[in-house]
């Protein structure tokens, strides 16, 4: 009731008094900038502005800071339900933040074993050789539009014909190897199928190691360092943070000038000179038609519809102690017969990648992606647990007794109304909408051309989308737009 009443009053006052009068919050205070969302982009933008002396209010819908960075105490240490690695070190805001604060992050080695569904150890050499080749091939995409899956399949066939003709007639191996590669591509891209991804993605890797880990510090340390709250730091004096504050409406002056009004689900209203929106593409897809008044321009609405965000998920188990061999990854290679036996639960065949994290010694991750990841978020916990443990035993239990786990947690990036996905990828519409990410990131201006609603977040970074460093760069980009040096 209260909420509706307040909204009504607010709308009436907009109507009667116009923008300038109504955007005075209950306390009468107005901020330089309001940040919507405190993930990597919002945290970077908020701390950049606050360090420059601006008064900043950060409104975060969830009860924690971090967004798609979510470090959780688990097992004998911590695990990451969201971002895990610093992908590349050269010119990385994330890596540089660690180094500047004397925190040693180190690479996770990529050693792995392959297990077959009959419990024998698989031929790692061939799989490693082929995956390495395909990873390299994807760096040299064709000139004209092509689906990533089709392109990589073609490259694989050419390679096998030349190097391993005997494999070409091994249909069982080939078909599962293609499924496995599809799965691995989807784990990188957050896609549901490698043919939903363009072979000509704009993504650019930073130089340096792609698997740098925050290990027992956890990725959350990055956000604490930015906010100056690490080790009981006191934060920034001009930055006010409010959690559990879901923003439902942003009123901005389009044909006029003046302040921006931000309305929250609990009825509170805040005002500022400008607002930086950092919510995910998934949240924008669901809400853009109600979140902004007046509505965002058509070209921005179109790219929100056309860009893609997918799902990558983790189900994490802890055990009394580690019982697995001393490598970091375990690839599960399914035989056609064992696949057939799972036909009532086809998602089980998508259990293909189990990994050991660096933040704890007695936990294992089971990775999932696409529709399987969405399904795993919604299945009953005991079903997920029993099917996954059964599968771990099938593949890894030949020589060791796989014990029962002591606990289990799983991510819910798709179900979560404040993320609605894990990260974005370049889909097949990229050729039709080559500037989609740039348009997504364009600010909304008032009648005098001054930016009123700005957009940051992973999806708005032209070449480092899908990462924490990209999200952070985007937050810095939009904060800089509001600082004097840029107002030349």
Ligand X SMILES: Cc1cc2nc3c(=O)[nH]c(=O)nc-3n(C[C@H](O)[C@H](O)[C@H](O)COP(=O)(O)OP(=O)(O)OC[C@H]3O[C@@H](n4cnc5c(N)ncnc54)[C@H](O)[C@@H]3O)c2cc1C
> Which residues are bridge partners to 77 per DSSP?
74
Task: Write down the least CB distance from residue 256 to ligand NAG, Å.
Answer: 8
Give the other-Cβ count within 10 Å of 322's Cβ. 15
Residues 22 to 81: which contact ligand NAG by CB under 6 A?
none
Partner from ligand NAG, ligand X, none contacting 283, C-beta within 5 to 8 A by type: ligand X
Task: Write down the least CB distance from residue 291 to ligand X, Å.
Answer: 7
At 467, list the tokens: 């990462």
Q: Cα Rg for the chain, rounded, in angstroms?
A: 24
For residues 181 and 80, give the distance between their C-alpha atoms in angstroms, rounded to a whole number: 24
Task: Write down the least CB distance from residue 180 to ligand NAG, Å.
Answer: 12
Residue among 25, 108, 195, 209 that touches ligand NAG (CB under 6 A):
108
- Nearer Cβ to ligand NAG (33/189): 189
For residues 452 and 275, give the distance between their C-alpha atoms in angstroms, rounded to a whole number: 6
Interface residue list for ligand X (CB under 6 A)? 36-42, 59-62, 67-69, 82-85, 87, 246-247, 278-280, 283, 312, 314, 411, 413, 418-419, 422-423, 457-458, 466-469, 471
Task: Write down the least CB distance from residue 88 to ligand X, Å.
Answer: 9
Residues written for the chain: 488
* DSSP single-letter state for residue 311: -
- Nearer Cβ to ligand NAG (402/428): 402
> Which residues are bridge partners to 78 per DSSP?
73
Residues 395 to 434: which contact ligand NAG by CB under 6 A?
398-399
Sign of CA dihedral 266, 47, 294, 11: positive
Residues 118 to 137: which contact ligand NAG by CB under 6 A?
120-121
Task: Write down the least CB distance from residue 211 to ligand X, Å.
Answer: 8
First to last CA, the chain: 48
Largest CA distance in the chain: 79
Partner from ligand NAG, ligand X, none contacting 414, C-beta within 5 to 8 A by type: none
Residue among 147, 211, 228, 229 that touches ligand NAG (CB under 6 A):
211
Partner from ligand X, ligand NAG, none contacting 278, C-beta within 5 to 8 A by type: ligand X
For residues 395 and 376, give the distance between their C-alpha atoms in angstroms, rounded to a whole number: 20
The pairing of strands 112-116 and 329-333 is: parallel
- Nearer Cβ to ligand NAG (393/398): 398
Residues 146 to 205: which contact ligand NAG by CB under 6 A?
187-188
For residues 412 and 182, give the distance between their C-alpha atoms in angstroms, rounded to a whole number: 22
What is the arrangement of strands in the sheet containing 106-107, beginning at the earlier edge strand? 85-86, 212-213, 106-107
Residues 321 to 350: which contact ligand NAG by CB under 6 A?
328-329
The pairing of strands 363-369 and 353-355 is: antiparallel
Binding segment (CB under 6 A) for ligand NAG, from list 56-64, 100-108, 198-206, 270-278: 100-108
Partner from ligand X, ligand NAG, none contacting 110, C-beta within 5 to 8 A by type: ligand NAG
Partner from ligand NAG, ligand X, none contacting 108, C-beta within 5 to 8 A by type: ligand NAG
- Nearer Cβ to ligand X (35/127): 35
> Which residues are bridge partners to 424 per DSSP?
309
Partner from ligand NAG, ligand X, none contacting 258, C-beta within 5 to 8 A by type: none
- Nearer Cβ to ligand NAG (211/293): 211
Q: Which residue has the tokens 């760069």?
A: 473
Q: Which residue has the tokens 């389009």?
A: 254
- Nearer Cβ to ligand X (342/453): 453
Residue among 27, 104, 171, 232 that touches ligand NAG (CB under 6 A):
232
- Nearer Cβ to ligand X (248/361): 248
Partner from ligand X, ligand NAG, none contacting 60, C-beta within 5 to 8 A by type: ligand X
| Residue 290 burial (10 A CB sphere; 0-12, 13-18, 19+) | exposed
Please work out, in degrees rounded to the nearest 5, the angle formed at the alpha carbon of residue 193 by the alpha carbons of 189 and 197: 55
Partner from ligand NAG, ligand X, none contacting 149, C-beta within 5 to 8 A by type: none
Partner from ligand NAG, ligand X, none contacting 296, C-beta within 5 to 8 A by type: none
For residues 185 and 195, give the distance between their C-alpha atoms in angstroms, rounded to a whole number: 10
Partner from ligand NAG, ligand X, none contacting 398, C-beta within 5 to 8 A by type: ligand NAG
Distance of CA 192 to the CA centre of its chain: 15
Produce one character per residue of 152-161: b if its CB has 16 or more CB atoms within 10 Å, e if not: bbebbeebbe
Which residues are within 8 A (CB) of 213 and not within 5 positions of it... i.e. 6 or more apart?
Answer: 84, 85, 86, 105, 106, 107, 108, 357, 358, 359
- Nearer Cβ to ligand X (70/330): 70
| Binding residues for ligand NAG (CB under 6 A) | 85, 101-102, 108, 110, 120-121, 187-188, 210-211, 231-232, 255, 328-329, 355, 398-399
């Amino acid at each position: 009731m209260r909420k509706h009443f307040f909204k009504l009053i607010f709308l009436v006052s907009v109507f009667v008094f116009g923008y300038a009068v109504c955007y005075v919050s209950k306390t009468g205070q107005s901020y330089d900038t309001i940040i919507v969302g405190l993930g990597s982009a919002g945290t970077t933008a908020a701390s950049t502005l606050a360090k420059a002396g601006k008064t900043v209010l950060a409104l975060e819908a969830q009860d924690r800071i971090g967004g798609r960075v979510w470090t959780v105490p688990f097992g004998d240490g911590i695990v990451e339900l969201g971002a895990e690695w610093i992908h590349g070190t050269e010119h990385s805001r994330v890596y540089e933040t660690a180094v500047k604060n004397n925190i040693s992050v180190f690479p996770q080695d990529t050693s792995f074993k392959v297990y077959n569904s009959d419990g024998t150890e698989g031929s790692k050499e061939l799989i490693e050789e082929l995956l390495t080749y395909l990873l390299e091939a994807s760096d040299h995409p064709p000139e004209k539009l092509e689906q990533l899956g089709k392109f990589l399949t073609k490259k694989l066939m050419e390679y096998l014909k030349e190097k391993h003709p005997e494999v070409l007639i091994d249909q069982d191996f080939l078909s599962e190897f293609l499924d496995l590669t599809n799965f691995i591509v989807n784990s990188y891209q957050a896609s549901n199928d490698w043919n939903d991804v363009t072979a000509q993605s704009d993504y650019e890797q930073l130089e340096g190691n792609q698997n740098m880990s925050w290990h027992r510090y956890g990725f959350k340390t990055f956000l604490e360092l930015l906010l100056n709250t690490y080790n009981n730091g006191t934060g920034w004096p001009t930055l006010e943070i409010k959690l559990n504050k879901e923003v439902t409406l942003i009123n901005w002056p389009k044909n006029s000038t003046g302040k921006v009004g931000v309305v929250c689900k609990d009825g509170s209203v805040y005002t500022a000179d400008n607002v930086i929106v950092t919510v995910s593409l998934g949240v924008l897809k669901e809400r853009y038609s109600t979140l902004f008044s007046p509505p965002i321009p058509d070209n921005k609405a179109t790219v929100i519809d056309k860009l893609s965000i997918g799902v990558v998920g983790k189900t994490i188990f802890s055990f009394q102690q580690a019982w697995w061999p001393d490598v970091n990854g375990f690839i599960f290679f399914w035989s056609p017969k064992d696949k057939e036996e799972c036909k009532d639960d086809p998602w089980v065949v998508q259990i293909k990648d189990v990994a050991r994290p660096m933040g704890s010694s007695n936990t294992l991750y089971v990775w999932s992606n696409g529709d399987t990841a969405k399904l795993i978020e919604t299945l009953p916990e005991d079903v997920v647990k029993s099917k996954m443990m059964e599968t771990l035993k099938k593949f890894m239990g030949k020589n060791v007794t796989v014990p029962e786990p002591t606990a289990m947690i799983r991510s819910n990036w798709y179900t979560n109304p404040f993320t609605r996905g894990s990260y974005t990828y370049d889909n097949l519409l990229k050729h039709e909408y080559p500037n989609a990410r740039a348009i997504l990131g364009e600010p909304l201006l008032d009648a005098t051309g001054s930016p009123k609603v700005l957009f940051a977040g992973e999806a708005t970074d032209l070449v480092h989308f899908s990462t924490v460093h990209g999200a952070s760069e985007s937050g810095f980009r939009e904060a800089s737009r509001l600082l004097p040096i840029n107002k030349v």
